[in-house]
């Protein structure tokens, strides 16, 4: 009944280790050693095996290997979306770093939806991700508990809060925005606008918002000094957001945006409304992606080291995977890029 094996549902022609062994006239153990520890097998044998491997287009079955050695050399990442250049960029360097270590990357995007992310965590773990990269803190604690129980090292990126138990490599969104808002305030602005992403379920957005609030309150300003427009990250929404905010009774003299894409949209809209930035209105961004240098005027924004974040996250995850030492967090520094879209409140 070996026939069954051949006709079953086996994909035709995918050679297995034992096919190679047969073709080379050696045992499967020897073939396996040729592949994983060539120095243990004699030159001549090795040559025969390699020949057979090529003739049969053999490629090891990963699942079987993972099963046998209990390690998958795979790590997973769940990001909100690759459409946002910051995540694409961070993931790129994350992947490069993993690749150097021979580790493969499994990607999922949650589209900012908690339940989707939830399911993806389980999927990636089931798929054997040795470790996991997540974005931000906002999720049910059960997720982290699950990962802990399963002994899957994991890390939060793009956010950093020393008070949180979950290890992270990121920056303090609130402090970063506070820094920028302080500069804005110092320039004399007293009426602020903020175009932000949805804050519930997104601690980064929330942190940035709170950063602005911190500054306003510290300056003794009333909360009404801040006009908020909540939307989704996109160029078009930046435009719409600006229009909305400026339609208020006593419009702000500065509109701070949750990211650069939103800010680019706002800038464009301002221009089309006939406003001169920064004379009539100041606008700020966040992230310092490429477009911040392309807009006119160029965008004053917060620089975030996305690439380094990805790289460092990879390294931490890799070492956590190797030796389950006490995970520690890492805080990256942000800085302010003063360019041309922010100045003292204008003609007024």
Partner DNA sequence: TTTCGTCCTGCAAGCGCTTACATCACGCTA
Partner DNA sequence: TAGCGTGATGTAAGCGCTTGCAGGACGAAA
Give the count of beta carbons closer than 10 Å to the beta carbon of residue 162.
8
Contact call for residues 308 and 262 (beta carbons, < 8 A): no
Name the minimum Å distance from CB 294 to a second copy.
5
Between the two ends of the chain, the Cα-to-Cα distance in Å is 91
Token representation of residue 148: 């802990």
Smallest separation (angstroms) from a second copy to the CB of 249: 30
Q: Give the span between the Cα atoms of 65 and 128, in whole angstroms.
A: 12
- Residue 75 in the binding site for DNA (CB under 7 A): no
22 makes contact with DNA (CB under 7 A) = no
Between CA 244 and CA 123 the distance in angstroms is 41
CB 285 within 8 A of CB 299: yes
Q: What, of a second copy, DNA, none, does residue 28 touch, CB below 5 to 8 Å by kind?
A: DNA
Look at residue 218 and give the partner it binds from DNA, a second copy, none, a contact being a CB closer than 5 to 8 Å depending on partner kind.
none
Give whichever of 42 and 81 is closer to a second copy, judged by the CB atom: 81
- Does position 54 interact with DNA (CB under 7 A)? The reply is no
Q: How many residues touch DNA (CB under 7 A)? A: 30
> What kind and span of H or E run contains 55?
helix 43-55
Contact between 53 and 14 (Cβ < 8 Å): no
CB 165 within 8 A of CB 109: no
> Does residue 35 belong to the site contacting DNA (CB under 7 A)?
yes
Q: Give phi and psi for 274, each to the nearest 5.
A: 85, 15
- Candidates 60-68, 232-240, 317-325, 336-344; binding stretch for DNA (CB under 7 A): 60-68
Residue 5 makes CB contacts below 8 A (sequence gap 6+) with none
Between 11 and 326, whose beta carbon lies closer to DNA? 11
347 binds DNA (CB under 7 A): no
Residues making contact with a second copy (CB under 8 A): 9-14, 57, 59-67, 70, 72, 74, 81-83, 85, 88-89, 91-92, 95-96, 99, 104-109, 111, 122-128, 146, 149-151, 235, 261, 264, 268, 290-291, 293-296
User: Residues interacting with DNA, by CB under 7 A?
Assistant: 5, 10, 14, 16-18, 25-30, 32-33, 35-36, 40-42, 44-45, 58, 60-61, 64-65, 67-70
């Amino acid at each position: 009944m070996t026939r069954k094996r051949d006709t079953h549902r086996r994909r035709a022609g995918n050679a297995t280790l034992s096919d190679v062994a047969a073709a080379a006239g050696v045992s499967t153990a020897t073939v396996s050693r040729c592949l994983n520890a060539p120095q243990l097998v004699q030159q001549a044998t090795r040559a025969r095996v390699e020949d057979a491997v090529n003739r049969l287009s053999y490629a090891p079955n990963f699942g079987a290997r993972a099963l046998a050695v209990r390690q998958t050399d795979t790590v997973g990442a769940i990001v909100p979306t690759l459409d946002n250049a910051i995540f694409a960029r961070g993931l790129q360097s994350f992947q490069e770093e993993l690749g150097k270590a021979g580790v493969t990357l499994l990607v999922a995007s949650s589209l900012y939806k908690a339940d989707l992310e939830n399911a993806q965590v389980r999927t990636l773990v089931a798929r054997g991700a040795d470790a996991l990269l997540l974005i931000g803190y906002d999720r049910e604690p059960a997720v982290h508990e699950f990962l802990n129980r399963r002994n899957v090292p994991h890390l939060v990126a793009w956010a950093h809060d020393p008070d949180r138990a979950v290890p992270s490599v990121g920056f303090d969104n609130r402090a970063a925005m506070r820094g920028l808002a302080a500069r804005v305030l110092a320039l004399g602005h007293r009426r602020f606008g903020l175009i932000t992403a949805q804050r519930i379920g997104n601690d980064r957005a929330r942190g940035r918002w709170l950063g602005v609030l911190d500054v306003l309150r510290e300056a003794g300003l009333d909360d009404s000094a801040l006009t908020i427009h909540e939307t989704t990250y996109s160029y078009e929404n930046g435009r719409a957001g600006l229009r909305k905010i400026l339609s208020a009774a006593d419009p702000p003299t500065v509109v701070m945006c949750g990211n650069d894409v939103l800010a680019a949209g706002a800038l464009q809209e301002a221009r089309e409304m006939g406003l001169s930035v920064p004379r009539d209105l100041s606008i700020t961004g966040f992230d310092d992606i490429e477009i911040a240098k392309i807009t006119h005027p160029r965008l004053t924004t917060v620089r975030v080291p996305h690439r380094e974040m990805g790289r460092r996250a990879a390294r931490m995850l890799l070492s956590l995977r190797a030796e389950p030492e006490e995970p520690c967090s890492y805080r990256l520094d942000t800085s302010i890029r003063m360019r041309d879209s922010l100045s003292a409140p204008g003609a007024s």
